[in-house]
Amino acid sequence: MQLAPDTHGQANLIAGYAPGELRLRNRVLTSSSIVTAAEVLPWTATSAASLTPAQLDPVLGLGVEVVLLATGTRQLWPPAAVLAHVAARGVGLEVMDLGAACRTFNLLVGDQRKVALAAILGAP
């Protein structure tokens, strides 16, 4: 049942998720990816614990205001160097489990915010 009209046009919205999987309107992602309202990019991240500052450079180069880091079924913090790297670039970083990050992403896209979902998928 649709309770509200879809007013987001062709924006990438998360239609569903499961451990290790993101479902967009017309595509299923099973490996780590960066998702914005306009594009989907492959990403090399495999775990929050092994995340490096350089691995966030592709998402930081997109001109977003906030990055939602989805770390899987649990919220897992990346190393402090990653947090410092993002803060130094003046971008907000929110670390969340996959479900919370997907819900927040859809809300922010709906508000036309410059947001990116950096989802670590396929991690053990």
DSSP 44-78: ----STT--HHHHHHHHTT--SEEEEE-SSS--PP
CATH of the domain at 106: 3.40.1230.10
- Rounded to an integer, the average pLDDT of 103-122 is 96
Query: What is the span of the domain harbouring residue 88?
Result: 31-119
Q: How confident is the model at residue 43 (pLDDT cuts 50, 70, 90)?
A: very high
> Residues of the chain with pLDDT > 70: what percent?
91
CA distance 16 to 99: 9
Query: What pLDDT, on a 0 to 100 scale, did the predictor assign at position 123?
Result: 56
The answer to whether the predicted template modeling score (pTM) of the entire model surpasses 0.75 is yes
Is 14 a domain residue? no
Is 3 a domain residue? no
Burial label for 9, CB within 10 Å (0-12, 13-18, 19+), is: exposed
CA distance 24 to 87: 29
Is 63 a domain residue? yes
Is 9 a domain residue? no
Is 73 a domain residue? yes
Q: How confident is the model at residue 2 (pLDDT cuts 50, 70, 90)?
A: very low
The tokens describing 104, both together, are 């927040």
Query: What pLDDT, on a 0 to 100 scale, did the predictor assign at position 25?
Result: 87
Taking all residues of the chain, what is their mean pLDDT, rounded to a whole number?
Answer: 92
Say how many domains are in the chain.
Answer: 1
